[in-house]
Amino acid sequence: MSDNITVRGFVATEIRSSTTPGGVATASFRLGATDRRYDRATSTWVDGNTNWFTVQGYRQLAGNLGCSVKKGQRVIVVGRLKMRSWEKDGRIYHAAEIDAESVGHDLMWGSANFTRTAGAGT
């Protein structure tokens, strides 16, 4: 079973909003998550590897991503990890996607003004 993951990182692209042929609103962006580890030799925190993900949101979350999240911001993403690969013109492409269930600005890095969507969650 593939479980939920939580990733904290920075938004590396603008939000791309779209609508599926079936009429479902979608939004997506690239997320970079850089490992931080404590280096005992120098007694400082240093950057490690950066993982890249394509984050996908749907429906109400898609709408709120489009009007709330900007390139460069720090966010928390909760969702399901999906590793995909496909072939095109004889080359194989790979992507690590997260089907997001929740996304939020990380308040460790700034402040935020929140406005509830009318009818959300009912």
**CA-to-CA distance for 49 and 69, rounded, in angstroms?**
24
Nearest to residue 99, comparing CAs of 60, 52, 59, 58?
Answer: 58
32, 50 Cβ separation under 8 angstroms: yes
Rounded to a whole number of angstroms, the minimum distance from the CB of residue 24 to a copy of itself is 15
Interface contacts to a copy of itself, rule CB under 8 A: 1-9, 33-36, 38, 40, 43, 48-49, 51-52, 57, 60-61, 63-65, 67-70, 73-76, 78, 80-85, 94, 96, 101-117, 120-121
Give whichever of 4 and 18 is closer to a copy of itself, judged by the CB atom. 4
Rounded to a whole number of angstroms, the minimum distance from the CB of residue 36 to a copy of itself is 6
